[in-house]
Structure 1
Amino acid sequence: MRRTNYDTEQYQDYARGRALTEEQMGAWIGAFSALLPKGRPLAGLDVGSGTGRFAPSLAAAFGPVTGIEPSVRMREVALSQSQHPDVRYLAGSAEDIPVPTASADYAVMLLSWHHVQDKPKAARELARAVRPGGRLIIRSGYGDQMPWIWWLEHFPNGFEKDAVLFPPLHEVIETFTSAGWRVRTFGPFSEPSPGTYREMLDRLRLRTHTIFGHFTPEETATGFERLERAVAADPDAPAPAEPATLLSFERR
């Protein structure tokens, strides 16, 4: 898989292209709350924290959060926008988390697992950083469990190209259960509509989804032509909710 270099790609537009509405964030925090330990405050890790989409809201809801992000540029954006006193961002990766052993009550990996290069090492490192009984929540695609994303149907081979970016579900489960984790839950989540079709098209033009790095220029051009025609039919209608899945583990 071609690696996205966030120090040269996407970092300038990622926060805008992938911003969440208040309703969307509220839905995510509600879903996380149902999966995390009941005590408060909780010490959390946002592994692959990017431009800080989730860390401030996680901190406000649950307690102090450390964002772990390998990209210098993405961390710079996160730090420039950081407004929560209980959020910090550190250089690191899923394979190398610079926090003490068993210092976190939970970790989240939100659309970052497919970027991890050494997945067995990352599963072990997460197990080291999270205390026994702590939780791990992963939002990801799975090659054999891909949700239907409405705009991808307009791009040639969109669904097929997206699926190959993600390992199958059984492989992810095996990686974590071999590293000291046990599966707690796996289930669907529906992210509320981000706004109108017109607004979604404007965001997609920023190309902040990994899949755009895997389309040819011709496929990208064709896809946007088709998408623009489809959106033009009813640009101010609400775009569909986006389906997702949440996989959660408990540290044994």
Structure 2
Amino acid sequence: MRRIDYDTDQYREYARSRALTEQQLQAWLSAFEAALPARRPLTGLDVGSGTGRFTPALARAFGPVTGIEPSVRMREDAQMQSLPPGVRYLAGSAEDIPVQPGSADYVLMFLSWHHVQDKPGAIRELSRVLRPGGRLILRANFSDHHPRYWWLEHFPRGFEVDASLFQPLDEVVAMFTSAGWRVADFSTVTEPSSGTRGDMLERLRLRTGSFFAQLSSDEQAVGFRRLEQAVAADPDAPVPASAEPLLTLERP
């Protein structure tokens, strides 16, 4: 996929366009808890932490967390929050994680794997920073297990284009298992409704990267026109819950 520069304009609206409700956040924390050892505290890394929508919650639930984020603007936004003890943010990426070897019990990568340019290099770096038996919680979309978001159907080639941004599941698994990792779990997490369809439409207007960057201006115009017409019929209808894939991998 095209590289997205979050330091230009994406950072301005990212937090709102990707905001989670409390119910959504708790659903994800429950899924993460099931993937992690029962002991506490755990030392975690949130790689691709963005504006920090998960990092503080991870610290409160599991123990100290370092958010790793390459975008200067996104890190600045994250650091402006009221942070609980044990949270810090560092410049870095999946290919270059500035922490000591074997210093983390787990890594969360939430919708950031598809942005990684050097995936074999990232796997080597993840192997370096995790302790033996440490876990990578990979919330990634996969081309063959792609959620069918309700709004995609209104865009020309919507599902096809969105799914094409991601690797198939077996390809991702093979990259890790060939490096000695094992699959600890693959499951589907039901993410609760994010609110009304009217609100979701406004949030989608704030996204100019990822999926929308792959569409022509005509395709975007047609899609939003169709979506607006559909939402206008019942703007207060709730956004449907979605089934989201979650892959947990264990370092050798």
Partner of 1:127: 127
Partner of 1:178: 178
Contact 1:18 1:208 in 2 (8 A): no
Partner of 2:78: 78
Partner of 1:21: 21
3-state SS of paired residue (2:218): helix
Contact 1:92 1:98 in 2 (8 A): yes
Contact 1:37 1:134 in 2 (8 A): no
Q: Deviations over 1:81-110 (max 9, x none)?
A: 242221111000001100001100000100
Partner of 1:233: 233
Partner of 2:6: 6
Using the alignment, how far apart are the partners of 1:139 and 1:40 within structure 2? 22
Partner of 1:158: 158
Partner of 1:250: 250
Partner of 1:35: 35
Using the alignment, how far apart are the partners of 1:128 and 1:178 within structure 2? 16
- State the number of aligned residues: 252
Partner of 1:223: 223
Using the alignment, how far apart are the partners of 1:114 and 1:94 within structure 2? 11
Contact 2:4 2:209 in 1 (8 A): no
Partner of 2:191: 191
Q: Which amino acid aligns with 2:89?
A: Y
Q: Which amino acid aligns with 1:93?
A: S
Change (3 A) 1:81 1:45: same
Using the alignment, how far apart are the partners of 1:28 and 1:234 within structure 2? 28
The answer as to 2:147 corresponding to 1:147 is: yes
Q: How does 1:58-73 map to 2 (within 5 A)?
A: 58-73=58-73
Using the alignment, how far apart are the partners of 2:178 and 2:75 within structure 1? 31
Using the alignment, how far apart are the partners of 1:243 and 1:150 within structure 2? 12
Q: Which amino acid aligns with 2:111?
A: L
Identity of aligned residues (%): 66
Using the alignment, how far apart are the partners of 1:161 and 1:191 within structure 2? 22
Contact 1:58 1:65 in 2 (8 A): yes
Q: Deviations over 1:90-141 (max 9, x none)?
A: 0000011000011000001000000000001101110110101111100111
Using the alignment, how far apart are the partners of 1:198 and 1:209 within structure 2? 21
Contact 1:127 1:251 in 2 (8 A): yes
3-state SS of paired residue (1:13): helix
Change (3 A) 1:79 1:192: same
Using the alignment, how far apart are the partners of 1:9 and 1:169 within structure 2? 31
Partner of 2:101: 101
Runs of 4+ in 1 over 3 A off after TM superposition: none
Using the alignment, how far apart are the partners of 1:105 and 1:160 within structure 2? 36
Contact 2:145 2:168 in 1 (8 A): yes
3-state SS of paired residue (2:16): helix
3-state SS of paired residue (2:102): coil
Partner of 1:213: 213
Q: Which amino acid aligns with 1:216?
A: S
Q: Which amino acid aligns with 2:39?
A: G
Contact 2:173 2:183 in 1 (8 A): yes
Q: In structure 1, list runs of 5 or more residues that go unmatched.
A: none
3-state SS of paired residue (1:179): coil
Using the alignment, how far apart are the partners of 1:209 and 1:192 within structure 2? 24
Partner of 1:204: 204
The answer as to 2:171 corresponding to 1:168 is: no
Q: State the TM-score, normalized to the length of structure 1.
A: 0.97
